[in-house]
Amino acid sequence: MRHGPLADAFKKFEAASVIVLKVLLIMSVAIAIVMLYVLFFSGIRAHLMAIDSVSAVQTALQHVFAGVLLVLLGLELIETLNAYSADHHVRIEVVLIVAMIALGRHIVQMDFEHLSGPVLFGVAALMIALAVSYYAIKRAHHDERPTR
């Protein structure tokens, strides 16, 4: 890319955009954590006596786990922006981690009793594809490092 006033303006815009997005994500994650605690403790107080079976415990835990995974998604997105601002390119392994967390969150919320086999097979294939991709990229980066 040529250096000049337009390139300098683009770099400044890019840096400002990343900072604004980081601040937005940080505020979103902070609010999500507070809301997760509020919902958790108000839910315990309001619904603890209504839990009378393993199925009800499972449902309650699925909601808690989904909330925690949602916060982790936000933290990983912040990490993606940090990596982008440091290297000026998107690190694919971080994107794959975000995708795996998002899919894991979706899996936790799925109602397996009412899903068809092809849907379950598709979700499993997607998770395997993401995991294999992550492993391949980490392996390739490990093989690129010089030996001492």
Task: Please tell me the distance from the alpha carbon of residue 117 to that of residue 108, in angstroms, as a whole number.
Answer: 17
pTM: 0.71
CA–CA distance, 71 with 88 (Å, rounded to integer) = 25
Reply yes or no on whether the pLDDT at 39 is more than 70.
yes
CA distance 26 to 28: 5
Domain locations in the chain?
5-144
Q: Tell me the per-residue pLDDT of 8-22, one tens digit each, with 9 for 90 and over.
A: 888 899 889 999 999
By percentage, how much of the chain surpasses pLDDT 70? 96
- For 63-109, the pLDDT digits (tens) are 888 889 889 889 988 988 888 888 888 888 888 988 998 999 889 88
Confidence band, pLDDT 50/70/90 cuts, at residue 145: low
